[in-house]
Amino acid sequence: NGGFIRLTNPQAVQKELKATSNHFQTITDVRQFGRGGIVCRSPDQTCVQDLLKCTSFASTPVSAFIPPHLACTKGLVRGVDSRLTPAETLNKLSDAGVISIYRCNRLVNNERIPTESVIATFVGTTCPSEIKLWPLIFRVEPLASRPIQCQNCRRFGHSSGGCKSNLRCRVCGENHRSSECSATSEKCCLCGGSHAADYSECSVRAQESQILEIIDRRRCSRREAIAIVKDRTFGYSGITARNSTIIDANLSQAIDSAVEKAMTKVMDKLISSLSECLTQIISNQMNQLLQASMVPLQTSVTRDNTLLKSALVDALSPSVDKHERSGSLVRLDNSALSQPSTSGTTQMEIDSRTHKRTGSPISIDVKTKSKKSQSSLTRKETKSEAAGASVVRSKPLGS
């Protein structure tokens, strides 16, 4: 800009635009731009080219250009070789529509080290999703504009180089340097909050981010973006949106509280049921273990009892066998006396002596002849028991 252009006389501005381009009728909007310039909008490329060639407007030397935010877009390209110089990098990326680049650096020990990330400026209002440079493909991320804050007046949208406002402290907002501030508490000079002016969560900074987002998306001027943000904030739609946001927040909070209570009850029931099931399972397992451990014990006790009985029987068996054998022999002897043997013959011999002498005794000898089985049994006894006969002596006949 060689001079200042004021839109104080619309007819004079229209006259100058007619003289600049024969397609002036395609101009849709003319507005003040900055302190001494104007912005003309036209969808016709011929009219745009004529306006760019303009060097004088209302006898005032001027320079025409297209604002970068209206004609270009920026994107972040990753994976670019950090060993390439900016000129070499631009030469390689120019075929993909890149008109300028900026290499991102990393500060290490006060030394800037180049990284593989590059901020590329593309022609047009849309950022491509990728760049194809045979045989490589680079992903492109749309780059959002960051708020610019003046270090002199602490406002957003410009830098301190062209600021004409008064100096304000970053800490307390008073008209002195931040290094000379002696305040004990912070106060923002933009929103009045209890924080410094460069606080990242400041409401004015958030509003500036919204303005930049609108500029990037709609490709409009800063003034138009500010008007849109103000309409959102103070208009009916903005108030309704805030109220609906509050209602939604309250509703979501109530829903979260109800869900939390319901989940607490469900978890309590689930925990109680699980504890009961675990108790039952543990009880059953313990009973099974006890039963399994008692079986060997009972078997051992039974075996010990059997062994004890066997030992007692073995200890008592000699006397029992003796008595049983003697009893059986007596029974056999008695049976031999009472019943005749079918397997053998019994002969009774009565030896009677001549009764020459009165009162002489008569002896009756009973002898039993048995088979080999009985003789074999009687041979095992003593001589008195093996006789197998009983002698009965009676009184003399004459007595």
Tell if the pTM clears 0.95, that is, is over it.
Answer: no
Binned at pLDDT 50, 70 and 90, residue 321 comes out as low
Binned at pLDDT 50, 70 and 90, residue 398 comes out as very low
Q: Rounded to an integer, what distance in angstroms lies between the CA atom of residue 149 and that of residue 202?
A: 12
Consecutive H or E run containing 118: strand 111-123
Q: What is the mean pLDDT of the chain?
A: 74
Q: Rounded to an integer, what distance in angstroms lies between the CA atom of residue 277 and that of residue 210?
A: 57
pLDDT at residue 368 in the model? 42
3-class DSSP state for residue 25? helix
Q: Rounded to an integer, what distance in angstroms lies between the CA atom of residue 326 and that of residue 351?
A: 31
**pLDDT tens digits for range 89-104:** 888 887 777 888 889 8
pLDDT at residue 4 in the model? 59
pLDDT above 60: residue 345: no
**pLDDT tens digits for range 347-369:** 444 444 444 444 444 444 444 44
Return the closest-CA partner of residue 376 out of 384, 365, 391, 388.
388
pLDDT above 80: residue 34: no
Q: Rounded to an integer, what distance in angstroms lies between the CA atom of residue 32 and that of residue 6?
A: 7
pLDDT above 60: residue 335: no
**pLDDT tens digits for range 241-270:** 555 555 666 777 788 888 888 888 888 888
pLDDT at residue 54 in the model? 85
Binned at pLDDT 50, 70 and 90, residue 397 comes out as very low
Higher pLDDT, 134 or 264: 264
pLDDT at residue 155 in the model? 92
Average pLDDT over residues 217-222: 77
Average pLDDT over residues 139-152: 88
pLDDT above 50: residue 338: no
Helix-, strand-, coil-residue percentages of the chain, each rounded to 5: 45, 20, 35
**pLDDT tens digits for range 155-184:** 998 888 878 889 999 999 899 988 888 888
pLDDT above 80: residue 227: yes
Residue 333 near residue 390, CB atoms below 8 Å: yes
Binned at pLDDT 50, 70 and 90, residue 280 comes out as confident
Tokens of 140: 């492109």
Average pLDDT over residues 108-113: 88
Higher pLDDT, 382 or 146: 146
